[in-house]
Amino acid sequence: MAQDRKPVRWHVGVFLAPAVIVYTAIMIVPLFATLDLSLYEVRDKVAAFVGLGNFAKLFGDPNWSGQFWNALWNNTWFFVVNMAVQNPIGIGLAALLSSNRLRFAAAYRTAIFVPTILSFVIVGFVWKLILSPLWGIAPDLLKSVGLRHWFAPWLGDPHTALTTIALISVWQFIGIPMMLIYAALLSIPEEVIEAAEMDGITGMSQFWRIKLPLILPSIGIISILTFVGNFNAFDLIYVAQGALAGPDFSTDILGTFLYRTFFGFQLQLGDPNMGATIATVMFAIILVGVCVYLFGIQRRLRRYQF
Amino acid sequence: MKTTFSLALAGMLLSTTAALADTTITIESWRNDDLTVWQQKIIPAFEKEHPDIKVKFVPSAPTEYNAALNSKLDAGTAGDLITCRPFDASLALFKKGQLADLSDMKIMSNFSDVAKAAWQTDDAKHTFCVPMASVIHGFIYNKDAFKDVGIDAAPKTVDEFYADLDKIKKDGSYTPLDMGTHDQWEAATMGYENIGPTYWDGEKGRKAVIAGTEKLTDPQFVEPFKQLVKWTDYMGDGYKAQTYPDSQNLFTLGRAAIYPAGSWEISVFEKQADFKMGAFPPPVQKAGDQCYISDQPDHALGLNAASKHKDAAMTFLKWVGSQEFAQIYGNALPGFFPLTKEKVTIKDPLANEFLSWRQSCKPTMRYTYQILSRGTPNLENALWAASANVMNKTETPEQAAEELQKGLASWYEPQQK
């Protein structure tokens, strides 16, 4: 019977087309072009296919692998600091903001969120000035509380530079977890809270036992956003420490390593093929990280329906 | 018949002048400090003679210039005229066919072979940029500070140099030596490659490294690192986080005594400092020793092979090679010394002081620039890191030298023996 045959649903394709075309043109094609670029090497002006040769060079040639592992390790530390400092403080701030007893909550919320919308260039420049041993206010502030000897040229010391930069990044982005968690906390229905209060769970234990489990999915999302953001990071370090990510490459992360390799720096000439190789490895790292989260963690999170 | 022909001719002429009047050529450069000088002095001087050509000067940040330029050239969006870095960066562009061959330009005879060497193929057969200027390294000092502390003359030997620094340190009102290691390159460029030629005998040492007969671990290449370690005793508190602009400001505010410098600082400093400044070349080891200066070919101007306004661009290039340009340029930007053979008088006294060393000292250039920075790891970048590490005391001079040598030998055959 003709009625049973479903008509071809042209409209589905028509409605999908704009997004698919735009996404393909500006995301998928460049992504595969990058993967493709990493399989070639320029010899005498001609691109020659070398298979995984560039990857062998990146991991096998000590000149490359030394820099790569250094950048990866620094990147991991950058991520660890961000995870360990930014997210707990963000959750704490959100919990404080959502408290009914807090006055001027809107003012605090705005003030804490503002750095997030500032440009990296401004953040890097301002913090460089604040921490400058010559004209910064950090040494004077410490002096006024009698702790001048605590001050060190943090951005210039290979042991402290990366952590300092990571903390600047935390300062800048603390608003994001705060806002997300704040929204999640507000969406918890009053009935649940009231029920808890009837059972005598109030104050801190209410936060730990009732609210925290309910906002866990949001924390998961924030973690994955932090992970992706940190492993793609570049701007702040480039602005504050330059493309050589000094001192002594101690703040060199995958993004700055990629930039130097791809575009070149000072007398070092750019090498798009090796650059694409590093970009591919970065892509793989982020892909693996996201998959681990999606399949390993998110599926096991319990969700509550209200 | 005749009138129609001449009318047509007149029409053609008109249309060509109209077309020329529209010609705008752009110059790619990393000299963003000089933007106003170009806009107010150099371009008007050219446009006065050639009203049909408009010139635009579009500089970018120095450290980003090469990367930005390479991508612009690859994408076909670069300007008509390209400011050329010395040696390999520009040579690579020429080999890729992105810079035009300018060997046949008549004005090339205005330049000595040494001046052209930085923008030629290794066999000196092809020249691809018109030399513009070189920079000379040395030390700029605050004359008022020296007077305050009781130093009569600029130091000539290394011992005098440290004796003066001790005096300034004891006095306590000035930072004796004004340099930071945060941006790394000052440690290499204004530190190591500034004083180094005194130890490795200038050109002799530089050529020996290229030939592979001397190694970077030889004492003459380690000693400058040891000197840099000594410098740190006289540098400001927190020099590890002191950036290049910090150092410049510290000096022009009159809070520092000696500034390890390149002559390009002159125009910037003279605008800002309200005290008298003097300059001295890198001190020699013993009184009476030959002194050496780093007289670095710094920039030249080349033609983008893909330029759509080649005629107008060539007119500008011809002008850049003239004595007239050298005279304007050398005086508009004191501290950038014209490379032309013709006579150019520099009016600025501080710039003249630098220039006078060309007579008394043997000139050489930064040894990392020619050939030695072609491979991976890049010797120039490695030297930045090594010099900064030595001054931050995270590496000993010997370790730093060892690492540089290892890196160079990993790809440069003459050094593998």
The bridge status of strand B129-142 relative to strand B337-338 is: antiparallel
Give the C-alpha separation, A54 to B329, whole Å.
46
A189 reaches B (C-beta below 8 A): no
Q: What is the pLDDT of residue B21?
A: 55
Question: Across residues A8-25, what is the average pLDDT?
Answer: 92
Whether A1 and chain B come into contact, CB under 8 Å, resolves to no
Of B66, B240, B377, the CB nearest to A247: B240
Domains observed in chain B? 2-133+297-352 (3.40.190.10), 136-295+364-415 (3.40.190.10)
Q: How many CB atoms lie within 10 A of CB B398?
A: 13
Euclidean distance between CA atoms B151 and B119, whole angstroms: 42
Contacts of B240 in chain A (CB under 8 A): 153, 156-157, 247
The answer to whether A133 and A153 have CB atoms below 8 angstroms apart is yes
Q: Which two tokens stand for residue A48?
A: 């020659």
Residues of A in contact with B249 (CB under 8 A): 134-135
Report the residue count for chain B.
417
Which tokens belong to A83?
A: 């995870």
Which of B126, B118, B61, B125 shows the shortest CA–CA distance to B84?
A: B118
Please check whether residue A229 touches B, CB under 8 A: no
| Residue B310, Cβ density class (10 Å: 0-12 exposed, 13-18 middle, ≥19 buried) | middle
> Mean pLDDT throughout A236-264?
90
Distance CA B242, CA A135 (A): 10
Which of B30, B88, B378 would best serve as a mutation to test chain A binding (most A beta carbons within 10 A)?
B378
**Which residue type sits at B348?**
D
The pLDDT assigned to B6 comes to 55
CATH 1.10.3720.10 residue window(s) in chain A: 52-300
The per-residue pLDDT for B16 is 47
Tell me: pLDDT of A306 over 70.
Answer: no
Q: State the sign of the Cα–Cα–Cα–Cα dihedral A114, A116, A120, A125.
A: positive
The answer to whether residue A103 scores a pLDDT higher than 90 is: no
Residue-by-residue pLDDT tens, chain B, 417 positions = 445 555 555 544 444 444 445 689 999 999 888 898 899 999 999 999 999 999 999 998 887 788 889 889 988 999 999 999 998 889 989 998 999 999 999 999 989 887 888 999 988 899 999 999 999 999 999 999 999 999 999 999 999 999 999 999 999 999 999 999 998 999 999 999 999 999 999 999 999 999 999 999 999 999 999 999 999 999 988 899 999 999 999 999 999 999 999 999 998 899 899 999 999 999 999 999 999 999 999 999 999 999 999 999 999 999 999 999 999 999 999 999 999 888 888 999 999 999 999 889 998 999 998 888 888 888 998 999 999 999 999 999 999 999 999 999 999 999 987
Q: How many Å apart are CA B257 and CA B169, to the nearest integer?
A: 10
Give the pairing type, strands B256-262 and B129-142.
antiparallel
Give the pLDDT band of residue A46 (cuts 50, 70, 90): confident
Interface contact A265, partner B, CB < 8 A: yes
Overall average pLDDT of the A230-246 stretch: 90
Q: Which of B93, B27, B24 is nearest to B60 (CA)?
A: B27
Alpha-carbon dihedral angle through residues B113, B117, B122, B128, given to the nearest 10 degrees: -100
Give residue B14's pLDDT. Answer: 46
d(CA B115, CA A5): 83
Q: Which residue of A has its CA nearest to B63?
A: A266
Q: What is the pLDDT of residue B5?
A: 52
Query: What is the residue-wise DSSP string for A82-110?
Result: IIIIIHHHHHHHHHHHT-TT-SSHHHHHH
Q: Do the chains contact at A269 and B236, CB–CB below 8 Å?
A: no
Burial degree of B270 (CB within 10 A; 0-12, 13-18, 19+): middle
Q: Name, in order, each residue with C-beta under 8 angstroms of A133's C-beta and a sequence gap of 6 or more.
A: A139, A151, A153, B236, B237, B238, B239, B241, B242
ipTM more than 0.95?
no
Tokens 């892909």, residue? A287
Residues of chain A in contact with residue B384, where contact means CB-CB under 8 angstroms, are: 244, 266
In terms of residues, how long is chain A? 306
Separation between Cα atoms, residue A35 and residue A72, nearest integer Å = 20
CB of A152 less than 8 A from some CB of B: yes
pLDDT band at A47 (very low <50, low <70, confident <90, very high): confident
Nearest CA in chain A to B255: A134
What is the structure's pLDDT at A263?
Answer: 83
Give the CATH architecture of domain A52-300.
Orthogonal Bundle (1.10)
Beta strand residue intervals within A118-276, DSSP E: 264-265, 268-269
Which of B303, B325, B244 has its CA nearest to residue B44? B325
Q: What angle do CA A94, A98, A103 make, to 5 degrees?
A: 110
Q: What is the pLDDT of residue B316?
A: 95
Q: Element (H or E) spanning B81, and its range?
A: strand B81-84
Both tokens assigned to B396? 């000993």
Query: What φ, ψ does residue A101 adopt, rounded to 5°?
Result: -85, -10
